[in-house]
Amino acid sequence: MTSLSYILSIDNLKTYFFTEAGVVKAVDGISLKVEKGESHGLVGESGSGKSVTALSVLRIVPKPGKIVGGSIFFNGTDLMALSEKEMRRFRGKKMAIVFQDPISSLDPLYTAGRQIVEAIRANDETISKEEAQAQAIRLMEEVGIPEPDKRFYSYPHEMSGGMKQRIAIARAIAQRPELLFADEPTTNLDVTIQAQVLDLMKDLKKSFGMSLILITHDMGIIAEMTNRVTVVYAGQVSETGNTTDIFYSPLHPYTEALLKAVPRVDKRRRLESVPGNVPNLITPPSGCRFHPRCPYAIEKCKQEVPPIEDAGKGRYVACHRWRELLLVGVS
Amino acid sequence: MQKETAEQEGLKRSATQWAVAWRRFRRNKAGVAGLAIVTAFVLLAIFGPFFAPYPPRSSESLFQGEAGQPPSWKHPFGTEINGIDVFSDSLWGARNDLWIGVAATAIGIAIGIGVGALAGYARGSIGAILLGIIQFFFVIPTLLLILLLSRIAQVLVLHGFGITLIILILGLFGWPGVSYVIRGEIFRVRELEFVQAEKALGASNSRILFKHIIPNVLTPVVVLASLGIAGNILTEVVIFFLGFGPPNTATWGQLIEEGVQYISIYPWVAGFPGMLTVLLVFGFNLLGDGLSDALNPRLRE
């Protein structure tokens, strides 16, 4: 299971939030495998457990959240078995994360440069401040910041959203991590800037061969950026497979619904939304969690939880009816 | 050498948070007026007593037959029935009052930050117990307790303490508001994404607390300090006005207390220190409001 070609292998991860209203099962049995050098998309609506999965891998789930089950292997190392101190050395150095909101993900009190310097020295105090500063300026250049030696002394509030996100990216890749999580990295940016930031992430990924897990609800970005996709719904995996397969022949009704919600310029058709809402994760629906919103649901879907089945070609799907349904993808 | 100049140049180019706040503050006329008033009183408190014609609580004028006189060139604020020169005592009082306000607020804020930070960062039962303590100190009738304590202290051997005692009492009861704010701010900042981001980079908990969380909660303290000094000066005046202050101390409250008894005959005795009190408290309130606007992150450009 923990083959060395996988940089990340998550099995049956469960992360619950113990709130006063009840136990929120934000991640309830998600399994995920990411190969070295792969760009893996994690898609789903807000609240489906995508972000919590990333935070769980880094083991920085905020309280009252807690990882209650499952295993996470990083390059063959069992992350759940590490002490907090050992885990800290993995963060930033082996894997890093870029958050959605560049405004709040930078500390307003420190200059951009200082925050990158801090990231460079976070796990290695032997790097001198001067050396770290030179490295930081190089990093800023890499992420496309004009006049990096001047911008080094700028505060976050003096920068535009796109610029701040570039700083956040520079900070995340400062220790040359092998795996980068990007949690909706472009959602809060203008469309024109979105493309630039996505291109930047592509370039960076190529230039030092890191693996990328891109978390988004935007199927367009998934198509553009990833080679494999895992679709999550209500804390569980609906299906996983190669991006092109998923787009051309979805096997899960939820994937089909997501694809229908993507606007297309080449085909004039009604834009459909996924009917209904993300279920309450304190008392999730019985059987298949998608059944209340699924147009193809039968009695069995209400009763039995669908097992994850191997659909060949590296595809896995959790649907009782995947063999009989003929779902429509993009064409 | 080369590097240093480059660094300074960069620093000059880039405005710090405080510089931005200062720019915002300068645009606020009321705040600048408050700062001017407060600065004037600080100078008065430091240098005023050197120019006071009489020592504090001196009845010298009584023996010159000048008790209870209206304002004149010799006695700009008039004299009191026992011959105390109101102008001199107002100058000495400025020093005492400001010192009481600043020192008591400093003590209150130091305790408030400590307790508030602990209550905000500790989860579970420690946090709950600390919150209980804060709430307890919040609801007890502070003024009554202060009056009671200062009377007890006077009856006991402590009357030599003078205003130091007042400072301690005000400070030891003046922190719950600060700790409430700090606790709330820590709750807010702790959930911000940059705290997660720092954690994700491998920063330790203590580094995150001291380098990222606490510095980010300190801005409201500046505002609280300004408003706290105003509040403490008012409370101090009330203590003296009610006759609970240490005897023979030159403060505005003491003068007001003495003057009120004869307000219809010698209105200047309570009038001048009363106006000074109102002006200084007003100044601190304007300053506090100005600071609060300048430091409010939601208004930052």
Tell me, letter by letter, the H, E, C secondary structure of chain A.
CCCCCEEEEEEEEEEEEEECCEEEEEEEEEEEEEECCCEEEEECCCCCCHHHHHHHHHCCCCCCEEEEEEEEEECCEEHHHCCHHHHHHHECCCEEEECCCCCCCCCCCCCHHHHHHHHHHCCCCCCCHHHHHHHHHHHHHHCCCCCHHHHCCCCHHHCCHHHHHHHHHHHHCCCCCCEEEEECCCCCCCHHHHHHHHHHHHHHHHHHCCEEEEEECCHHHHHHHCCEEEEEECCEEEEEEEHHHHHHCCCCHHHHHHHHCCCCCCCCCCCCCCCCCCCCCCCCCCCCCCHHHCCCCCHHHHHCCCCCEEEECCEEECCCCCCCCCCCCCC
Contact criterion met (CB < 8 Å) for B200 and A109:
no
B 195-234: CB under 8 A from A: 196-204, 212, 215-216
SS3 state at B72: coil
Contact criterion met (CB < 8 Å) for B10 and A150:
yes
CB B239 within 8 A of CB B151: no
| Shortest Cα–Cα distance, A264 to chain B (Å) | 34
Tokens of A241: 């497979």
Tokens of A161: 């959203």
Tokens of A172: 């995340």
Contact criterion met (CB < 8 Å) for B201 and A122:
yes
Order of strands, edge to edge, in the sheet holding A39-43?
A: A95-98, A179-183, A211-216, A39-43, A228-233, A236-242, A315-317, A309-312
Is B300's Cβ below 8 Å from some Cβ in A?
A: yes
The reported pLDDT for the residue numbered B299 is: 53
Question: In a 10 Å sphere around its CB, with 0-12 CB exposed, 13-18 middle and 19+ buried, how is residue A277 labelled?
Answer: exposed
State which H helix or E strand residue B12 sits in: helix B2-13
d(C-alpha A201, C-alpha A186), whole Å = 11
By C-alpha distance, the chain B residue nearest A120 is B201
Contact criterion met (CB < 8 Å) for A175 and B201:
yes
Is A153's Cβ below 8 Å from some Cβ in B?
A: yes
Q: How many CB atoms lie within 10 A of CB A11?
A: 16
Biggest alpha carbon–alpha carbon distance for chain A: 67
Contact criterion met (CB < 8 Å) for A118 and B212:
no
Which of A83, A107, A115, A118 best tests the B interface by mutation, with the highest count of B CBs <10 A? A107
Q: Does the ipTM surpass 0.85?
A: no
| Preceding amide of A295 cis, omega within 30 | no
Each of the 331 residues of chain A gets a pLDDT tens digit; together they read 445 578 999 999 999 999 888 899 999 999 999 998 899 999 988 888 899 999 999 999 988 899 999 999 999 899 999 998 899 989 988 999 999 888 888 998 888 999 999 999 887 788 888 899 999 999 999 888 999 989 999 888 888 888 999 999 999 999 999 999 999 988 888 888 888 889 888 888 888 889 999 999 888 899 989 999 999 999 999 999 999 999 999 999 999 988 888 877 777 777 777 777 778 888 888 889 999 999 898 999 999 999 999 988 889 999 999 888 888 877 6
The reported pLDDT for the residue numbered A1 is: 45
The reported pLDDT for the residue numbered A320 is: 92
Instruction: Provide the pairing of β-strand A39-43 with A228-233.
Output: parallel
The residues, ordered by sequence, that sit 6+ positions from B206 with a Cβ below 8 Å of its Cβ are none
The reported pLDDT for the residue numbered B9 is: 44
Tokens of B297: 């992150």
Pick from B123, B199, B204: CB nearest A60: B199
Contact criterion met (CB < 8 Å) for A108 and B297:
yes
CB A58 within 8 A of CB B200: yes
Is B106's Cβ below 8 Å from some Cβ in A?
A: no
| Shortest Cα–Cα distance, B183 to chain A (Å) | 17
| Shortest Cα–Cα distance, B155 to chain A (Å) | 51
Contact criterion met (CB < 8 Å) for A96 and B3:
no
- Low-confidence residues of chain B: pLDDT under 50: 1-14, 300-301
Contact criterion met (CB < 8 Å) for B200 and A60:
yes
CB A50 within 8 A of CB A221: no
SS3 state at B279: helix
| Shortest Cα–Cα distance, B113 to chain A (Å) | 19
SS3 state at B291: helix
Is B24's Cβ below 8 Å from some Cβ in A?
A: no
| Shortest Cα–Cα distance, A105 to chain B (Å) | 4
Query: Pick from A173, A330, B109, A53: which is nearest to B117 by CA?
Result: B109
CB A252 within 8 A of CB A322: yes
| B chain contacts of residue A158, beta-carbon cutoff 8 Å | 14-15
Is A247's Cβ below 8 Å from some Cβ in B?
A: no
d(C-alpha B281, C-alpha A192), whole Å = 53
| Shortest Cα–Cα distance, B198 to chain A (Å) | 8
Helix B29-47 and helix B17-27, axial crossing angle in degrees, nearest 10 = 100
| B chain contacts of residue A58, beta-carbon cutoff 8 Å | 199-200
Which of B1, B17, B193 best tests the A interface by mutation, with the highest count of A CBs <10 A? B193
The reported pLDDT for the residue numbered A124 is: 79
- Predicted TM-score of the model (pTM): 0.76
B 177-196: CB under 8 A from A: 191-194, 196
Contact criterion met (CB < 8 Å) for A107 and B212:
yes
| Shortest Cα–Cα distance, A183 to chain B (Å) | 12
| B chain contacts of residue A64, beta-carbon cutoff 8 Å | none
The residues, ordered by sequence, that sit 6+ positions from B65 with a Cβ below 8 Å of its Cβ are none
Is B4's Cβ below 8 Å from some Cβ in A?
A: no
Is A58's Cβ below 8 Å from some Cβ in B?
A: yes
Query: Pick from A156, A148, A72, A141: which is nearest to A111 by CA?
Result: A156
Question: In a 10 Å sphere around its CB, with 0-12 CB exposed, 13-18 middle and 19+ buried, how is residue B3 labelled?
Answer: exposed
d(C-alpha A167, C-alpha A171), whole Å = 6
